[in-house]
Structure 1
Amino acid sequence: MSAVRYVIVGVVVVVVVVAAALTLLPTLHRVPVQYVGSPSGYEAFVPDGQTISYNGHTDPTGTLILSNGNTIQNVVWDGKYAGTIIQNHNAIVQLNSQFVGQTDPVNNQPYVPLQDFYVIKGQVPIEQVAINGQTYYVILADKINPANIAGFYTYQAWVPNFIAAINTPGTTPAVLPGNSPVFTWTNATGTAAYQTMVYGRYGPFGGGDVLVLSNGNIIPYGTTGNIAGASLDNYLFTQQSYNPSS
């Protein structure tokens, strides 16, 4: 009987050990959520036009620009607004296909490619995962307050400049009057300014806004009305007019 008891106890011990191991395995392989960026700064997700299947749905991929200028590649936006970002980006790509290569009728310069991006006020929750053997950094958008997310677009080359500007004290948003002389400037600033007005006639987009830097330079930009968090209202609904002669 003692031998029988020993076998039974041994089986129980093995079962308990295996059960404990199964309980611990997910914890050992789970990468904790990290919060990147500055609690008081602005970060930005820049879609690259690619998508990936994650958690059973389609998400946009791109780059995350942090408030200090550093970037994280292979980023996936998962959760809230994922589908809207894909639609917005496709619309911008379509408008670029339609207009880039044509001439701005106001300053007679060629139109430039514009790029949409999505600003997040505060830190961004990300999780490192492996998808098909590739490492990605997933933005957990459902953990972000919607009031802290807003969509913008500007000249493709100026997206990092825009993020640097809104993280720099002294930068103020303004709106261009319809007869602004900025539209006649024969450089990329004049072109992009007018081009955001053109794109603003389509889809959910608005245009004709500028960031005014402390050195007097400006960065023209437009907005996406379907992702417009209230904490970024000062950049979305600008009241002050920009006059380059002032």
Structure 2
Amino acid sequence: MKTTETPSNYDGLEEMSVRDLLVNINNEDSTVPKAVMRAMPQIEALVPEIVKQLKKGGRLFYIGAGTSGRLGVLDASEIPPTFGMAHGVVIGIIAGGDGAIRKAVEFAEDDTEQAWKDMSEHQINHKDVVIGLAASGSTPYVIGGVSKAKEQGLITGCITCNRNSDLARAVTFPIEVVVGPEFVTGSTRMKSGTAQKLVLNMISTASMIQLGRVKGNKMVDMQLSNNKLVDRGARMLMEELCIGREEAEDLLKKHGSVRQVIEYIRNNARD
């Protein structure tokens, strides 16, 4: 039996008080970072490969179904506003199409050919990287997609929560985060989903930092798409350049990003 399908460590859930439910769920969740740490060598092996391909002009694809697919779409969608990376560099694809983000599409995950068709709509090529997301490690849509990608010479990886899965065997860089049984038996939206989210955060954030999208600890390329982010950008400039808020906001409005302001100021200083 897959680890993700093994019986919960708890029983009689419906008889527990709200307090006990919350405490016990939290107790289970607290084991997830330890499982991620055990998978650190696998994560560390994949990130440099992603960075290398992105520097060549390649892209990063996440493919998944259900919760796993939604997590991939979420991570991909956050890259442009957080790091100022162009849309389409990190791409999340979910079985069943974008409508499946909100509403499950029955049997969409069972088609072994569809993932490659979905990626082909983005003119996928040998410079790209494909990461398959499946807690079970057995989703046909994902296995079919990474298998075809590997066959075509692409770098492939996966994030799964079972050891020795078909998915892990199908890729070059498997990441296996074995979190154990779920609080609600088989509900991989819980610990498994949390583990996948943590690993996705690590992969994309580390890759963007390696690509120079962070300065010190600041998101200097973030898109200034709301007042909160404009305020954050202004505070970064006030700290970095020792200027007042009004001047910082004017510079941001003129140049569009924290990085562009800093580069403009430094270039002028050299002149």
Normalised by the length of structure 1, the TM-score is 0.26
Structure with greater strand percent: 1
Normalised by the length of structure 2, the TM-score is 0.24
Greater RCO, 1 or 2 (C-alpha within 8 Å, sep 6+): 2
Higher radius of gyration, 1 or 2: 1
Structure with greater helix percent: 2
